[in-house]
Amino acid sequence: MSLSLKNPEFLIERNYDRCINCQVCERQCANDSHYYDEEMDKMLSKDENCVNCQRCVTLCPANALSIRQYPLEYRKNSNWTGEMINNIYKQAESGGVLLTGMGNPTPKKIYWDHILLNASQVTNPSIDPLREPMELKTFLGRKPGKLEFDENGNPFPLPPQLELDTPIMFSAMSFGSISINACRSLARAATASGIMYNTGEGGLHQDLYQYKENTIVQVASGRFGVHQEYLEAGAAIEIKIGQGAKPGIGGHLPGEKVGDEVSRTRMIPLGTDALSPAPHHDIYSIEDLRQLIYALKEATDYTKPVSVKISAVHNVAAIATGIATAGADIISIDGYRGGTGAAPTLIRDNVGIPIELALAAVDERLRREGLRDQVSLVIGGTIRNSADIVKAIALGADTVYIASAALIAMGCHMCQKCYTGKCNWGIATQQPDLVKRLNPEIGEERLKNLIRGWSLEIKEMLGGMGINAIESLRGNRLMLRGIDLNERELAVLGIKHAGE
């Protein structure tokens, strides 16, 4: 191979007045960005290997390190940005598809930031959540249009429901894409917080069966780790059709991440790529989807809600209607900013639509069709804080999925290199030496704290609006106003402009 034209993305700066040559940075970096030169008796860096995960910066006992964008700047050009030039060098050298991790980082409009919440003043008193009860409990599943009773006057049982203490769930992340310790952290935190986590499509590791009451098990096209015991273990079952980061394409878990445990859980040979193509080859229509939904219901004797997860795409409202009529109990929609362990960069950044608009359109359509009670709506991609959650619920969501935020709580620094399997924070890796860096007890604690903090904030915002139950906020778009939005955008969102 000829000389690589790629320039380093990041510059490692070492303050030699502080560096004590302890080599912690070298041991902590799975990308070999640091090394000790004996002749010079000093630590040196290989900038080109650095992914800016900040592991060395955080762990350096002498505070000697900092990392920043590489200062090399191409001639100013709004069309050909440095990133695009580097990407072309990368592809000219490899002939491959550009790959990336995590959610869409491009500076496209984030509608959450153009929506403002209401608060009570004078005419309608606000409620103080510190002193008064505030209900966040959320039930997911089909709600009957009316109650029916048997001849003795006893009501027929309700369709199965998921009960959540707060309207937040951890979104699908598979064992394989993330480490067993990351899975453990999520499962334990979900259990302790009275919410759900989602296995993703990688099956369920034996150690995680104990958390089954707080587990949503996923069934995707590759059917990895799907068997009767797995289906029975789930509090709910989710059929994965699409994912916001890569609508319309499947997943490839690279062989580097398929070690012993992943191989056993997924039932594929060691070191092979785990291939999950985009289509389920038994689903080519809404009728086929219905068939899988009911096969799963039959296999679990109608005891669990079945969810169908799709990515937000252009005709999402019509698709959601189809899913509702196909018999799904929950529809989960993932916006185009949603994260991933690996996706082709150009697909992540260019395919799909914003979740805010998709949610508003779906909720509106389901209401118009009289189907809204028959399904619960879960949205994700991306929820960044509790205000996003409150806005999502006011737009019509029953609850939200979070994944990137959960990873960040566990220590992720958003370097977007999950697909390399060399996550220095022990999250998106299967290398035993890296996996053990994430202590599941600490991971659990941090996730629990995040859920607690967000739940308190949601209560504060509800109280401010004079609402004392999350149920009263659901689909209550009068609590929302837009700013810097045009009439089309306001119409799709179904909200008024600020000042109206």
Residue closer to other proteins, measured from CB, 56 or 343: 343
**Comparing C-alpha atoms, which of 430, 339, 342 is closest to residue 96?**
342
Residues 43 and 88: their CA atoms lie apart, in Å, by: 32
**Site membership for other proteins, residue 98 (CB under 8 A):** yes
395: β partners = none
**Site membership for other proteins, residue 76 (CB under 8 A):** no
Helix (H/G/I), strand (E/B), else coil: 156: coil
Applying the rule CB under 8 A, the residues between 289 and 308 that interact with other proteins are 291-292, 294-296, 298-301
Residues 261 and 469: their CA atoms lie apart, in Å, by: 43
Q: What are phi and psi of 36, to 5 degrees?
A: -100, 125
Residues 390 and 376: their CA atoms lie apart, in Å, by: 16
Residue closer to other proteins, measured from CB, 13 or 287: 287
**Site membership for other proteins, residue 227 (CB under 8 A):** yes
Residues 67 and 424: their CA atoms lie apart, in Å, by: 15
CB 215 within 8 A of CB 191: no
Size of the site for other proteins (CB under 8 A): 46
**Site membership for other proteins, residue 231 (CB under 8 A):** yes
**Site membership for other proteins, residue 32 (CB under 8 A):** no
Applying the rule CB under 8 A, the residues between 392 and 421 that interact with other proteins are 419-420
Residues 470 and 398: their CA atoms lie apart, in Å, by: 9
How many C-beta atoms lie closer than 10 Å to residue 165's C-beta? 13
The amino acid occupying position 439 is N
Question: In the bound complex, what is the minimum distance in angstroms from residue 13's beta carbon to other proteins?
Answer: 25
CA distances from 202 to 53, 176, 183, 216 (A): 25, 6, 11, 12
Taking CB under 8 A as the binding criterion, the range among 97-105, 108-116, 317-325, 404-412 that sits at the site for other proteins is: 97-105
**Site membership for other proteins, residue 226 (CB under 8 A):** yes
CA distances from 95 to 87, 88, 212 (A): 11, 10, 44
Question: In the bound complex, what is the minimum distance in angstroms from residue 479's beta carbon to other proteins?
Answer: 42
Contact pattern for other proteins over residues 195 through 224, marking x by CB under 8 A: --------------------------xxxx
Question: In the bound complex, what is the minimum distance in angstroms from residue 285's beta carbon to other proteins?
Answer: 12
Applying the rule CB under 8 A, the residues between 253 and 282 that interact with other proteins are 254-255, 263-264, 266-269, 271-273, 275, 277, 281-282
Residue closer to other proteins, measured from CB, 346 or 469: 346
- For 422, the token pair is 């060399």
Question: In the bound complex, what is the minimum distance in angstroms from residue 223's beta carbon to other proteins?
Answer: 3
Question: In the bound complex, what is the minimum distance in angstroms from residue 116's beta carbon to other proteins?
Answer: 42
CB 203 within 8 A of CB 229: no
Question: In the bound complex, what is the minimum distance in angstroms from residue 43's beta carbon to other proteins?
Answer: 26
**Site membership for other proteins, residue 46 (CB under 8 A):** no
Residue of the chain from 94, 124, 210, 285 that contacts other proteins (CB under 8 A): 94
- For 332, the token pair is 């989960």
Question: In the bound complex, what is the minimum distance in angstroms from residue 319's beta carbon to other proteins?
Answer: 22
The amino acid occupying position 64 is A
Binding site for other proteins (CB under 8 A): 90-91, 93-99, 221-224, 226-229, 231, 252, 254-255, 263-264, 266-269, 271-273, 275, 277, 281-282, 291-292, 294-296, 298-301, 344, 419-420
